[in-house]
Structure 1
Amino acid sequence: MTASPTSAPLGGDALRVLVTGASGFVGKAVVGELLRRGHTVLAGSREGQALPGAAGIKLDVTRQDSVQAAVNEVQPGAVVHLVGIIAERGEQTFGRVHVEGTRNVLAALPAGARYLHMSALGADPASQSRYSSTKGQAEQLVRASGAAYTIFQPSLIFGPGDDFFGRVLKNLVSQAPVVPQIGDGHFPFRPVSIEDVAAAFAGALARPETVGQTYALTGPVEYTFRELLNLELAALGKRKPVVPVPLPLMNLAVPLMQLLPNPPITKDQYAMLLAGNTADPEAARRAFDLPMLNLEERLPHLLKR
C-alpha cells in the first residue's frame, strides 16, 4: 500500500537528504542539484567520501547494519537511492546490489521520510537482461513498501564522465579500422542529459503530486543505434565505414568477449541494446519542468573533456 502524501515532509521546505551512491556519476550531479536548491545533503558511499558542500558517510547498501547505522546517524527527511552497477564483479552481483540493496534501504527508511528511487528504462522482472530484471524486482519492492516514493527510469544518460558515450561507444568507434554495427542498427534510443536527471530527482522533493508515480526520463530526440554511431564518429572527428555485424555472429561473439579482462560489451549491455531504450519524455518534462538538453549539441564538448 502506498503511503499518503501527507505522511512525508513534502512541498518546498528544505530537507535533510541522504543520497546513496553519492560518489558516482549520477550521484555527484544529484547531490549538486539538491544543494543548489537549499537542501542539506549527506553523501552516502562505501568509502564515505565527502563532496563539495556535502558531508560524507560510510554506507554499504548490501549490508543492512551499515544502512541502518547511516540512517540512525543522519536522521534524513528524504532518501535518494541511486546505487546500481552495470556489470557484476565478485560479490557485487545485480541481485545483491539492486534487489537486496533496495530491500535494506527500504527497511531502514525512517517513518514519514520521502523516498526517491533510481531504476532504469526497461526495468522488468521478466527481462532477459539480469540488469533489467533485477531493476524490475527492486521496483516491486518499492511499490509494496508503503513509502512515499517516486521511481525514475532513465534511458542512456549523457554527461561529463558518463560510461556509455564516454567509454563504451567511444571504444566501439575508435579501436578498429571499421565500426561494427550490431545487426541492422535500427534499435531506438532516447538519451537523457545528466542535468535533466538531476533536476527530476531534486524537483520531486517539492512536488507532492509525484508521490506514488513512476517517470521515464528520456531526452528530446530519438535516435537509432546507427545514428548514435554516426554522432559519436562526427563528435570525435573520425571518418570510418560502419559495417553491420549479423545478429547470429554477434550472438556467438559476445559470450566470447566475456573472457576478456574488460570486455567491450557485456552480455547484459548487449541484451539491452537489442531491446532498445526509448519512451515519451513529456510526462517527466511537464512534472519537473526539465530543460531537455540535446545529445547532438553536447556530445562534441563531452568527448573532448
Structure 2
Amino acid sequence: MDAMRQSPKLVTVFGGSGFLGRHVVRALAKRGYRVRVAVRRPDLGFFLQPLGVVGQIQLVQANLRYPDTVRRALDRADAVVNCVGILSESGRQSFGPVQAEGARVIAEGTPAGLPLVQVSAIGADPNSASAYARTKGQGDAAVLAARPDAVIVRPSVLFGQGDSFFNRFAALARALPILPIAGAETRFQPVWAGDVGEAIALAVDGRVLGGRIYEFGGPEIRTLRELVEYVLQVTERKRMIIAMPEGLARIQARVMEIVDALSFGLLPDELKLTRDQLVLLRQDNVVSEGARAEARTLEGIGMTPRAMEAIVPAYLTRFRKTGQFDLKRAA
C-alpha cells in the first residue's frame, strides 16, 4: 500500500488476463502502479487480484471490436499496454479486427505523451503470407502512425508455467507414441514471459526509448526438433520424432481445422494446427542481427534473459510418469 501512495499512477493493460498479460500485471503491481485490466470476460480474471494489494488491480470489460469499451478502459489512464493477440481465429475473434484494427483503436485513443506499449511478435510484417504475422505487422504500423513514440515489443515464443508451447509437446508426448512435427528445422529463441513482462514494465517506467521496435529472445537458439527433444529429456519419455513434409502437414492442418469447426471449438488445444501456423513455420523465429546491433533487445535495455533450463523443468515434472516423486532420483 505504501508503494501505491508513492506511485498512484494508473496503467490500463488490455489482455491482462492472458499468458503474457498476467506477467505484465505482476511486474506493474510490484512497482506500486494501480492496474486496470481490460478484458472481454472480467469474471474470468479474478485470479489476478492476489498479485497486488487490496484495490490495486481492477478488472473492467472491454472488447477491441467495440471502440466505446476501449475508450472507457482508457479513461484517466497514465499509461497503456496492449497484450491482446490470438494464435488462431475462432468465431468472431478474427485476426484483422483484434490484432490490426484493435491496436489502431487503442493507439488513437491514448493521449499523446502517455507511455504506450504494443505487444507484437517476431516475424510481424504487413506483407507476410501469414494472416497472423500480417495483422500483427499492420497493428504495429497503425500504432506507430498514431503514436510515433510508442514502444513496440516483439518477443519470440514465450515460455513459463501454463505456456502453450512446452506444455503442448509434453502433453502430446504423454499421449502419443510418435511425435509428428512440422517445421522441424525452424529455429526459435524461447524467452521467459517473466522477462518480457519486466521489460514492458520498464517501458511504462519510461526507461525504454520510445519510437522503436524491440525484439526479445532468450539466451539460446534451437530448432523445433531440438526443443521437442528437450521436452522429452525433461519429462523422461522416449518418443520417435518424425519431421512431416509441408504437403502432408497442410493436409493434417486442414483436417484439424475441419474437426475443430465441427466440434464447435472443442478440439483440445494440443491437437490444434492451422495452415496459417504452417506458414509461420517457414521462417526462423529469432532476434534479428539489426535488433542486436541497435540494442533493441533485452540485453540492450540492461536485462539478462533467463535460460529455459532454469524455468521449464519446474513445471514439466507433472508430465513424468511419476511426477517429481521418483525413487531413483530421490536415492
* TM superposition score normalised by structure 1: 0.89
Q: Is the 8 A contact 1:112 1:147 kept in 2?
A: no
Letter in 2 for 1:160: Q
Q: Equivalents in 1 of 2:37, 2:208: separation in Å?
A: 26
Indicate the residue corresponding to 2:104 in structure 1. Answer: 103
Indicate the residue corresponding to 1:259 in structure 2. Answer: 258
Q: Is the 8 A contact 1:204 1:288 kept in 2?
A: no
Which residue of 55, 58, 69 corresponds with 1:55?
58
Q: How does 1:216-255 map to 2 (within 5 A)?
A: 216-255=215-254
Q: Equivalents in 1 of 2:110, 2:241: separation in Å?
A: 49
Indicate the residue corresponding to 2:16 in structure 1. Answer: 22
Distance 1:159 1:55, change over 3 A: same
Q: Percent identity?
A: 33
- Aligned-residue Cα RMSD (Å) equals 2.0
Q: Equivalents in 2 of 1:153, 1:241: separation in Å?
A: 33
Indicate the residue corresponding to 1:8 in structure 2. Answer: none
Q: How does 1:7-156 map to 2 (within 5 A)?
A: 15-48=9-42, 49-50=45-46, 51-52=48-49, 53=52, 54-72=57-75, 75-156=76-157
Q: Equivalents in 2 of 1:200, 1:15: separation in Å?
A: 18
Indicate the residue corresponding to 1:277 in structure 2. Answer: 285
Q: Equivalents in 2 of 1:24, 1:32: separation in Å?
A: 12
Q: Is the 8 A contact 2:161 2:315 kept in 1?
A: yes
Letter in 1 for 2:217: T
Q: Does 1:157 align with 2:151?
A: no
Distance 1:171 1:128, change over 3 A: farther
Q: Equivalents in 2 of 1:286, 1:193: separation in Å?
A: 14
Indicate the residue corresponding to 1:175 in structure 2. Answer: 175
Distance 1:165 1:233, change over 3 A: same
Q: Is the 8 A contact 2:152 2:212 kept in 1?
A: yes
Q: Is the 8 A contact 2:79 2:115 kept in 1?
A: yes
Q: Is the 8 A contact 2:202 2:208 kept in 1?
A: no
Q: CA deviation at 1:148?
A: 2.8
Letter in 1 for 2:170: K
Q: Is the 8 A contact 1:120 1:155 kept in 2?
A: yes
Q: Unaligned regions of 5+ residues in structure 1, if any? A: 1-11
Distance 1:181 1:83, change over 3 A: closer
Letter in 1 for 2:69: S
Q: Is the 8 A contact 1:78 1:113 kept in 2?
A: yes
Secondary structure of 2:258's aligned partner: coil
Q: CA deviation at 1:286?
A: 3.1
Q: Unaligned regions of 5+ residues in structure 2, if any? A: 1-5, 261-266, 319-331
Deviations along 1:226-267, whole A, 9 cap, x unmatched? 101101111211011222222222232222221122243222
Indicate the residue corresponding to 1:187 in structure 2. Answer: 186
Distance 1:251 1:260, change over 3 A: same
Q: Is the 8 A contact 2:221 2:286 kept in 1?
A: yes
Distance 1:194 1:171, change over 3 A: same
Deviations along 1:138-186, whole A, 9 cap, x unmatched? 011011113531000011000011112212x234433321121325x22
Q: CA deviation at 1:290?
A: 2.1
Q: Is the 8 A contact 2:161 2:312 kept in 1?
A: no
Q: CA deviation at 1:208?
A: 5.1
Letter in 2 for 1:300: P
Q: Is the 8 A contact 1:254 1:267 kept in 2?
A: yes
Q: CA deviation at 1:38?
A: 2.2
Distance 1:294 1:28, change over 3 A: same
Letter in 1 for 2:317: K
Q: CA deviation at 1:192?
A: 0.3
Distance 1:126 1:171, change over 3 A: farther
Q: Equivalents in 2 of 1:228, 1:25: separation in Å?
A: 20
